[in-house]
Amino acid sequence: MRILVIEDESKTAKFLKKGLSEAGFVVDVAGDGLEGLYLAQEVDFELLILDVMLPGLDGWQVLTRLRQAGRRAPVLFLTARDAVHERVRGFELGGDDYLVKPFAFSELLARVRSLLRRAPPRQQETIRRADLEIDLLRQRVTRAGQRLDLTAKEFLLLSFLARRAGEVLSRTLIAEAVWDMNFDSDTNVVDVNVRRLRSKVDDPFPLKLIRTVRGAGYVLECDQ
């Protein structure tokens, strides 16, 4: 899948390209608004990552012209300014998502994936990762055939990690998904809960599924 990154800060553009490429996307980079607009009109991208403050044309203008030209590719805004009215403006102009710098790359990747996931995820009844099996209907978890005794929140946490297996999930994202806590502070609470989950899911088994990505979050590895 092809993604266009319009970003004038070269370091940001570089790590975005690198990270997204490694995640399996084909990435093109434009350094200013005019070049970005030109590329976006020439090539059929499936997603645009657009910085708001750009030389030439700013992000708003690029988006407006793209929509006028009939391009419907989803747009993810990046900005260092996060005033509420800017956010609203971005959505009004037809932006699809909005991420404030500094952001966690894992967060960006998660949002890119969700924007590209056209169809809603099929409601699964069971998730299988390696020898882990989660029965979502009966809220039952087994590993290597052995029944695991989890609390309700531990079950939610594990199924969230398992559903997004292979994705690095930030602590903020986890707190939001599992506990509906929409704030960043005190994310070591997530660490405590992950540690408890591990003691039940990973500690008794030789194969460790939940891996800590230092400074980023947690990932449930499934390809080992």
Partner 1 sequence: MSWNATSDTAPWWRTLAFRLTAGYALAGLCLVFLATASLYLVLRMELEKSTDLFLADKLHVVRTLLRERPQDWDGLREEIELESAARRYQQFYIRLLDERNTPILTTPGMAEQLDLSLLARQIQSRPDHPFSMKGRHGQSFWVTSASAGVGSPSTRTDTIEIAIDVSQQEALLARYRRWFLATFLGCFAIFPLIGYRVARHGIRPVEEIATTAQHISSTNLHERILPEGYPFELASLAHTFNKMLDRLEESFERISRFSADIAHDLRTPVNNIRGEAEVALVRARTADEYREVLGSCLEEAVRLSDLISDLLFLARAESPLTLLRRERVNVAELLDGVRDYYQATAEDGGVSLTTAEGAEPVIAELDRALVQRAVGNLVSNAVAHTASGGSIVLATTLGTGAEASTVRIEVSDTGEGIPPEALPKVFDRFYRVDTSRSQASGGTGLGLAIVQSIMLLHGGSVGIDSQVGQGTRVTLRMPVSGSR
Q: Which stretch binds partner 1 (CB under 8 A): 64-72, 128-136, 199-207, 210-218?
A: 210-218
Smallest separation, CB 157 to partner 1 (Å): 10
DSSP-derived secondary structure for 95-120: --EEEESS--HHHHHHHHHHHH--SP
Decide: 131 and 16 in contact? Cβ < 8 Å.
Answer: no
Decide: 114 and 96 in contact? Cβ < 8 Å.
Answer: no
User: Total number of residues binding partner 1 (CB under 8 A)?
Assistant: 24
Selected from 96, 133, 179, 205, the binder of partner 1 by CB under 8 A is 179
Q: What are phi and psi of 49, to 5 degrees?
A: -110, 120
x-or-dash pattern for partner 1, window 39-58, by CB under 8 A?
A: --------------------
Give the footprint of partner 1 on residues 135-164 (CB under 8 A): 153
Selected from 34, 99, 189, 222, the binder of partner 1 by CB under 8 A is 189
Between helices 171-179 and 152-163, what is the axis angle to 10°? 130
Selected from 42, 68, 70, 102, the binder of partner 1 by CB under 8 A is 102
Q: What are phi and psi of 162, to 5 degrees?
A: -70, -40
Contact positions vs partner 1 (CB under 8 A)? 82-84, 100, 102, 104, 153, 175, 179-186, 188-189, 192-193, 196, 214-216
